[in-house]
Amino acid sequence: MKRLFDTTGLRFDDKQTVLELNGAKIEAYPSHHIDAIRGLTDVKLILLDEASFFPIGQQRLLRDAVERYIAKSSPIIAWVSTPGSPDDVFAQIGKES
């Protein structure tokens, strides 16, 4: 995310995980700490990148955690990944109606 803004002159400390840009707060969370995404307020977008490569159990927990936000703030949920296992959660989502 930080490298997207290299040409803008914005600089970030390497440990910084929060970016405020034009009134929007963007936060990054580590992939193996699903509890960190729980309990947020006013979520507009959740981007899960390469989540098909998380362990299957974590994929299920992650899906449960992010889908709970649908009732809270109706965010856009984008699960983006190259193909992983034919049994992963990403493949299951693709098979759902």
Provide the residue range defining the domain that includes 35: 2-95
Q: Using one digit for the tens of pLDDT, what is the confidence trace for 14-38?
A: 666 787 778 888 888 777 778 888 8
* DSSP secondary structure letter of residue 87: T
Assess whether pLDDT exceeds 80 at residue 4: no
Pairing of strands 24-27, 18-21: antiparallel
Band of the pLDDT at 73, cuts 50, 70, 90? Answer: very high
Torsions phi, psi of 69, nearest 5? -70, -15
Confidence of residue 12 (pLDDT cuts 50, 70, 90): low
Report how many domains make up the chain: 1
Question: pLDDT of 46-58, one tens digit each?
Answer: 998 888 888 888 9
